[in-house]
Structure 1
């Protein structure tokens, strides 16, 4: 298929429309969905005809939590390679965190970052502003000015906000400006030098562990501040059963709270860590099996709203296979998210396919007020992904578009493969 085409017909597929799976065709003209249905066009009259027989056609997936490292650490990832990886995973809209150098903590720098994103990215990039100046956790940025400059939402992700007054003022500004504070929840005074979850595996490997309270204690504080201000508080990468229960209670009391779970926390527990392989080291860490099951239950009962990857690429030298202590935290996720979750949860009957798609499309679009994304509808941008759900394949490093190869899922067999990704009707990924 040509990279650019005025008219594209995707025919014969099963299409996800408003959380329903429907056999129909998709007609795209000039970058937008022209029609959904049958006999929409004679294949001989379109510029490109894509046969989606036995394939799944979905809205482009949305990931509200990625790290692209540019500017400042392009040896790990660039905007271009990061968005190529997103497209390979079927994602067409991403939220890029602000832990780059310089961080976009003022309108001038935000505009520079947005221009760089537009120049280098192949998918839609929504750019976070940091919550605090310099991501130092001391003084909040001016939310109104940052939003006017183009900020998408606010997060100091990578660092927990240690001072309650900073979070309080951030949530006040979120309320006043109808925006979101996405929190990396971590109380530094409770870390005790931990590198993986506190428990049997940490003891077995002889490394210090992180206790669950390092997350849940700060979350409890933040939820009280959310109640006091009415600001929209979003919890990034929930990892503990205590956090799930706190969010459940907060929602029952009507607090303006949403939350995300990361694929690796759904798929793995600390018992799955192989030796001192740092590909299993991330922050928050893989918790125990009870925590993992609580995340699954939280998604199923609506406590956790969505799935987001926390795609965090690192260079090989930063992720040695035998050093948990000194290795960087982080796991890549864009290229393994949907295929691993489909294989491990949908095929095994834990989630339905429409549930999984909802958590990766509609839910993030609604929670973050992302317009023109998360659904297929005539007149809307043609952001589309097509997947083969029937052909087993191995995940291999050679296939990854990201600079980062730091995932323990390489070598796993999955039954889901991205075949085609379109952004505004333009092919940004096609499997050959």
Structure 2
């Protein structure tokens, strides 16, 4: 099948230029100022001057299936990703049963293939069921198709467990992707110090993240593993990552849209939609995360899309579930806050949300518009404002404080392998 995306604008360096794109059999065949829709073309998509982007890449989503389908399914989660302009996502392993052996992993990957409308890569766990110190069979899980290894949601508490996991992953040239949290230093806290004092709840100190990051960076240096830090939140963690990179340690890191857009000063009342783990930190931490992106300390933006039921969130912050959705609001909120104001360029944002995650994790064919590559494409309307509405979400999870915001960068269409999977 031949399809032309006509009258769109693509990035050429830092500039948007008019280009047409010819797609044939799911691949990009040509990118040119004008492509004539001859008799062999089956479909023409008029982009109306909108931004035609590489499909976005998210290395951190939670789809809850199997085990918690009331929160999200592979179908609803991947539809939400497509709504946000994402064409490749990496699904975390906190599932029931967890992908901690080849049989479980293969079953989940079959579900991903059957129900997903975008490309879904699947993490395997580091330990059995993510909850003890019994390491999984790394080699068997790699053969079964694991994308990388993570116990996301749980930090590895025992140093020897992490050390041995890194050794095994390094031997296989696989990444350890980790939620860095020393449970002994969280003290049962739910918010950063400032917001915790205002709302009279327990605080989760920044050191709970940074102390474990420091341990793991040293272990990464000792083992040579590719160690990736999930959702960095503290300026102290940013400083550690910066020093580790200067020392030549193979450490990469992500930051979430919510940690870039919000601080604990935004929590004015007991609203559980502002509760996530790690929690929103101080304004100085938020600025350090932004600077970390700009100077290359932090490699990419990842949503940590974490849907919950209304009952999970319809509670006080002290008892509500941790987590915020992100797939459907990430691009528009970041574009509006940072690109429209001149803090970031559009090229930088697309680098952090598409090209860099694909490069860091060697995802062939993802993250860029190139002839011969899969036609994974998102089309965004950068010029017209729209209001984020709960009724428009395709995720089962509605747990985000960004509902009601007026933003630019609405998704017009998303194509995966040249086929539209979302259309406004």
Q: TM-score, normalised by structure 2?
A: 0.98
**Which blocks of at least 5 consecutive residues in structure 1 are unaligned?**
1-5
Contact 2:14/2:346 (8 A) holds in 1: no
Cα RMSD of the aligned pairs, angstroms, is 1.2
Contact 2:379/2:412 (8 A) holds in 1: yes
Q: Deviations over 1:209-249 (max 9, x none)?
A: 11110000010000110010000000000000000000000
Match of 1:27 in 2: 22
Match of 2:225 in 1: 231
Match of 1:357 in 2: 350
Match of 2:335 in 1: 342
Contact 1:128/1:153 (8 A) holds in 2: yes
The 5 Å alignment of 1:313-328 reads 313-320=307-314, 323-328=316-321
Counterpart selection for 1:425 from 415, 418, 423: 418
The 2-side partners of 1:132 and 1:20 are apart by 46
Corresponding residue SS for 1:80: helix
Tell me whether 29-38 or 394-403 shows the greater mean CA deviation: 29-38
Tell me whether 75-84 or 14-23 shows the greater mean CA deviation: 14-23
The 2-side partners of 1:268 and 1:244 are apart by 17
1:258 equivalent in alignment to 2:252: yes
Counterpart selection for 1:10 from 5, 12, 25: 5
**Which blocks of at least 5 consecutive residues in structure 2 are unaligned?**
none
Contact 2:130/2:151 (8 A) holds in 1: yes
The 2-side partners of 1:40 and 1:415 are apart by 28
Q: CA deviation at 1:250?
A: 0.2
The 2-side partners of 1:155 and 1:137 are apart by 13
1:52 equivalent in alignment to 2:57: no
Q: CA deviation at 1:17?
A: 5.6
Q: CA deviation at 1:48?
A: 1.5
Counterpart selection for 2:189 from 187, 194, 199: 194
Match of 2:392 in 1: 399
Q: CA deviation at 1:269?
A: 0.2
Corresponding residue SS for 2:237: helix
Contact 1:7/1:30 (8 A) holds in 2: yes
Contact 1:15/1:58 (8 A) holds in 2: yes
Q: CA deviation at 1:45?
A: 4.7
Match of 2:111 in 1: 116
The 1-side partners of 2:221 and 2:33 are apart by 49
Counterpart selection for 2:127 from 129, 132, 137: 132
Q: Deviations over 1:77-110 (max 9, x none)?
A: 0000000000000000000000000001111111
The 1-side partners of 2:38 and 2:13 are apart by 26
Tell me whether 114-123 or 171-180 shows the greater mean CA deviation: 171-180
Q: Deviations over 1:102-153 (max 9, x none)?
A: 0011111111111011001000000000111111140221211101001000
The 2-side partners of 1:391 and 1:21 are apart by 17
Corresponding residue SS for 1:129: coil
1:280 equivalent in alignment to 2:289: no
1:331 equivalent in alignment to 2:314: no
The 2-side partners of 1:42 and 1:426 are apart by 17
Match of 2:302 in 1: 308
Tell me the matched-pair count: 424
Contact 2:7/2:19 (8 A) holds in 1: yes
